């Protein structure tokens, strides 16, 4: 009896090992599972494809950011196809992107749907002649129907601390920032926004110094959205003669203007004024 009991004690661990092996053989291969998960993740976070949009921008936008709306309207299929893909993005796919990719996607969507709005109503002398262009007309963005105002004010301005969007959103007017000949991308976003700021502030309509009257003239964009710059650029002591918002705007501008302008801005003792906005169409 003792012998049989000892024999059972000896065999029991072996039986457990054999049973475990049998269960493992029935499970899916762990390496295969890992590979499938990695492939799925790659698909989900794959950057949005801007190939068609890049072609549109190169073909119909010149080096000054002006648009050939007549030709674009005559050959609108590529733009319509690209705008369809903006709407076809699933919300889960959008949510899987980094913030920089989301910002780039939304800027491109805003600018591309603005192009669509113009050619839908072309010829027109100004985007302001299109009734409801910002607040009523809706577009499909990542499976949601939203307006241009919603993209700008409810998503970009509310969800992201990136005041640089204001030199990238193009409302099809002469006083707007120039439309780039390339799409914004998450990988290049910071570099592209810096380049945009230099171009925008290099235009006398957007930034001008009147040293004789101790006044700087800035785009009305900074008057409308100046508070958006306070968190990132308004934390220093106010520049002499300027309030917090004006100081923040000047601190931002100082990064992108030439060295002579930087020296003038650093001294203080000047007034800030805003230039009139030219709403005429940014047409070639």
Q: Report the 3 state secondary structure along 137-194.
A: CEEEECCEEEEHHHHHHHHHHHHCCCHHHHHCCCCCECCCCCCCCCCCCCCCHHHHHH
What average pLDDT score do residues 249-272 get? 97
| pLDDT for the residue numbered 47 | 78
pLDDT per residue as tens digits for the range 53-100: 999 999 999 999 999 999 999 999 999 999 999 999 999 999 999 999
pLDDT per residue as tens digits for the range 104-132: 999 999 999 999 999 999 999 999 999 99
Report how far residue 284's alpha carbon sits from residue 59's, in angstroms, rounded to the nearest whole number: 12
pTM of the full structure: 0.84
Is the separation of the CB atoms in 214 and 271 below 8 Å?
yes
| pLDDT for the residue numbered 202 | 97
Q: Which residue has the tokens 């709005």?
A: 117
| pLDDT for the residue numbered 45 | 56
């Amino acid at each position: 009896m003792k012998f049989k009991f000892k024999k059972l004690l000896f065999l029991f661990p072996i039986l457990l090992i054999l049973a475990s092996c049998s269960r493992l053989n029935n499970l899916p291969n762990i390496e295969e599972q890992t590979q499938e998960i990695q492939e799925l993740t790659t698909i989900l976070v794959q950057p949005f494809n801007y190939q068609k949009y890049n072609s549109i921008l190169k073909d119909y936008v010149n080096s000054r950011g002006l648009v050939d709306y007549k030709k674009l309207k005559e050959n609108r299929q590529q733009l319509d196809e690209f705008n369809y893909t903006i709407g076809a993005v699933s919300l889960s796919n959008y949510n899987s992107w980094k913030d920089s990719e989301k910002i780039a996607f939304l800027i491109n969507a805003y600018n591309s749907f603005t192009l669509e709005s113009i050619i839908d109503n072309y010829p027109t002398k100004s985007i302001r002649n299109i009734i409801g262009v910002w607040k009523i007309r809706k577009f499909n963005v990542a499976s949601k129907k939203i307006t241009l105002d919603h993209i700008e004010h409810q998503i970009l301005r509310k969800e992201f601390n990136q005041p640089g969007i204001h030199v990238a959103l193009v409302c099809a007017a002469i006083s707007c920032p120039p439309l780039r000949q390339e799409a914004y991308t998450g990988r290049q976003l910071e570099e592209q926004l810096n380049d945009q700021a230099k171009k925008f502030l290099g235009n006398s309509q957007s930034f001008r110094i009147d040293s004789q009257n101790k006044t700087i003239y800035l785009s009305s964009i900074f008057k409308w959205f100046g508070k958006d710059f306070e968190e990132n650029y308004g934390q220093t002591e106010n520049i002499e003669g300027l309030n917090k918002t004006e100081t923040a705007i000047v601190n931002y501008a100082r990064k992108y203007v030439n060295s002579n302008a930087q020296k003038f801005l650093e001294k203080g003792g000047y007034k800030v004024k805003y230039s009139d906005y030219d709403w005429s169409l940014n047409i070639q």
